[in-house]
Amino acid sequence: MKYQEVSGGICAPKGFAAAGVHCGIRANRTKYDLALIKAEVRCAAAGVYTTNKVCGAPIKVDRAHLADGYAQAILVNSGNANTCAANGVELAEECCRLTGEALGIPAEDVLPASTGVIGQPMTIDPFAAGIPVAAAKLAATAEGSADAATAIMTTDTHKKEYAIQFELGGKTCTVGAIGKGSGMIAPNMATMLAFYTTDAAVSPAMLQKALREVVPGTYNQMSVDLDTSTNDTLIVMASGLAGNPVVDAEGPDYDAFVEALTAIAEHMCAEHAGDGEGATHLITCEVSGAPDLKTARAVSRSVVCSNLFKAAVFGRDANWGRILCAIGYTPGDFSIDKVCVWLSSAAGEVYVCENAAYHPYSEEEAAKVLAEHDILVRVEMGLGSACAKAWGCDLTYDYVKINGDYRT
């Protein structure tokens, strides 16, 4: 599919404004900790959430507010997860009421989200102070998107946002995204926190269907540390202001929309994994020649999740045996006899494993390949035509330091 990257993040699609402010949840007054996203019109909306049995209170409110498939605003705080708090649901609902009051929309059209430390007490005071300020600061500009993307960061080292344009029903449509998350990442639904906006006209049912179609091959294929967060949330709002015929059934327009969502999701996955806590490398694993899609996804995920291989990448050690080992313990009935492996980066490519055995290569050249930030592991299984990708990062000393000091 042809698409073009554009600036503006979540404010690139028609009809969306955003803001980020400091409201007092974080002690550091220079750090934004409250983000607000608002649409000009009531939007079709869809979401997917963590499968963790311990889930943030905002998720419970989101599910209730999205029951009709529509929303108009998203409110996100960082610094406190609003999870395992006795008054969590009530606080999330009060945040929606305050947001609705500030924006002149029903509270039920506001979707809350939180990220930060689990199990900490929380009051409405910072929200009561910050929501009116954020509402007054809303801007349909690249700066508005950037401020919102910055406000939702926790251990991220940089903001994450992206936007693309594509053709749909003869109209130019745009999808924009912001996201946060560098640790506690092993999604089984979506990601840490991610918010997409689009001006494409898509019905709520097809928006939810598209989201559920995209997530398994993108966000569910990403891991930093095998920990599934309590607050994982991915929400999409579609304003319909691009003017395309409404996508309300499967067909070419639906397929084009799914392709666009997939493209932006793949980009965001690489952003998250490459910024993993303490990471010095982004690891992408591409599997081809698998007997079926399930196996292709499972194998690629096993490789990027292997702590031994992650540590080897950190040490710039082309220890392909750890890759083969990870493939071998992947669940499924398949043969490893024809597995071939290549390691590549901007510095070149080395062929390290042929038919599940050593293929002669230069350790010096391999070290140069692994010195780059972006590392690609190509696995050919020789068993069929299915393929898949997964994203991860290396395992470094700093990961332990960051999480050892996370609260203190």
Which residues are known to be catalytic? 191
| Residue 2 neighbours by CB under 8 Å, 6+ apart | 166, 167
CA distances from 323 to 64, 307, 310, 361 (A): 43, 10, 10, 16
Residue with tokens 């490789």: 303
CA separation for the pair 223, 216 (Å, rounded): 13
Neighbouring C-beta atoms of residue 332, cutoff 10 Å: 12
Alpha helices for 189-305 (secondary structure H): 204-214, 252-274, 293-305
Give, rounded to a whole angstrom, the gap between the first and last alpha carbons of the chain.
Answer: 47
Radius of gyration of the chain (CA): 21
**What are residue 360's phi and psi, to 5 degrees?**
-55, 130
Q: DSSP letter for 68, please.
A: T
Neighbouring C-beta atoms of residue 345, cutoff 10 Å: 18
